[in-house]
Amino acid sequence: MSPPKLKEVNVSLPRKFDTPDEPWYRYITVDLLHYVLGYTVFHPFVACVLVLCLRAQYTPWHALEMRIAIAWAMLMCTIGIFNIISDRIAYGAPREVDLSEEVIVITGGVDGLGGLLAETYGMRNANVAVLDMKKVDDEEAEEKGVFYYQCDVGDAKQVEAAVAEIVEDLGAPTILVNNAGMVRAGSILDSTPEEVEQTFRTNTISHFNTLRAVLPHMLSERRGTIVTVSSVLGRLGAANLSSYTASKAALLALHQSLRAELAQNPDANEIKTILVTPGQMGTKMFQGVKTPSKFLGPVVSLAEVAKSIMNLIEKGESGEVALPLYTKYAGTLDALPVGIQALLRRWSAMDTAIQKSGMVSKSEMKEQ
């Protein structure tokens, strides 16, 4: 059976004068160094090849460089095996994923991260359904190969009705990407009950609505993948983003509770969970917010986050997507002395970035 043909999509590459002309070293970040080192010096295969290269040069086993190379190779292999065993204990064996047999539901999938995921899977002829408040005309939907259902994910009844349509049109959902989100910047004192409630309905309550509607189908199919898109700010908090950070923090607890419940259900052995906690992404949601250090805390592209999410989904694995690198270790901040925590927050300018960006004065609602 020949594989399905990919759809032809007209794209226009950026012209040279459309992209900033920056010196080469501005593109070097700690994430890039971590990636390169991870596939060279700190990779078990490369470490073992180094030992073979030394032997090929007839380096004696008792030579100092050979002993160091062997010790390094053993250390890298031990760490690699430990990580594999740790992931298997935590997440279990991966499930088989065939996109032609999966039904993918993405909330907030008209633009942003959700839009990129939906259009990418649509181009690959996957069964993709998007739940979003924004309306997409039939011609555009057909061109992208995506089914769009206009729906307020914060409304449980609308979600139930939309999922019922998806089951009828495409089949039982097996992959759920809870991506819908919004932000309204401002002081706690300036916030209104209606604004806070709207933020939680979109960012948090929507996850409960979709899980109640989709998870029973996954349990009946005995397979599935659930992606929870939170934020590193859910771990850190930030001034003038209280409702946003609080709603994203709730998702961290929801993800852990979901995993705990699935672990107790015998029908959920093949249901995988993915937690996404990105830093600042290149979207309109935080447009204008400047990172204090492009080297340590670069703005991560939508393509990088989407690629990492899709990689886990298609491998049938559970896991976490934390980009850029600092977001992976943001949770350890609470283990540091409070004085060091205060200095790090002051140095990172995370509590003044929103005010300086002008988001507070604009008081605009932005969606992910």
Residues with a catalytic annotation lie at 244
Residue with tokens 């030992």: 51
**Would you state the structure tokens that stand for residue 293, as one six-digit string?**
């250090």
Which H helix or E strand runs over 99? Answer: none
Report the C-alpha gap between 93 and 270 in whole angstroms.
8
Angle between helix axes 44-56 and 64-91 (nearest 10 degrees) is 160
Ranges of beta strands (E only) in the chain are 103-107, 127-132, 147-150, 175-178, 182-184, 224-229, 271-276, 319-321, 365-367
Contact criterion met (CB below 8 Å) for 122 and 6: no
Contact criterion met (CB below 8 Å) for 73 and 50: yes
Report the C-alpha gap between 235 and 331 in whole angstroms.
6
Which H helix or E strand runs over 282? Answer: none
- Give the contacts of 114 (CB within 8 A, at least 6 positions apart): 106, 107, 108, 130, 132, 177, 179, 180, 368
Contact criterion met (CB below 8 Å) for 175 and 223: no
Report the C-alpha gap between 86 and 318 in whole angstroms.
12
Partners of 149 in the β-ladder: 131
What are the respective helix, strand and coil percentages of the chain, to the nearest 5? 55, 10, 35
Report the C-alpha gap between 165 and 162 in whole angstroms.
5
- Give the contacts of 351 (CB within 8 A, at least 6 positions apart): 238, 239, 345
Partners of 131 in the β-ladder: 107, 149
* First and final C-alpha spacing in the chain: 39
Which one-letter DSSP state was computed for residue 203?
Answer: I
Report the C-alpha gap between 95 and 222 in whole angstroms.
11
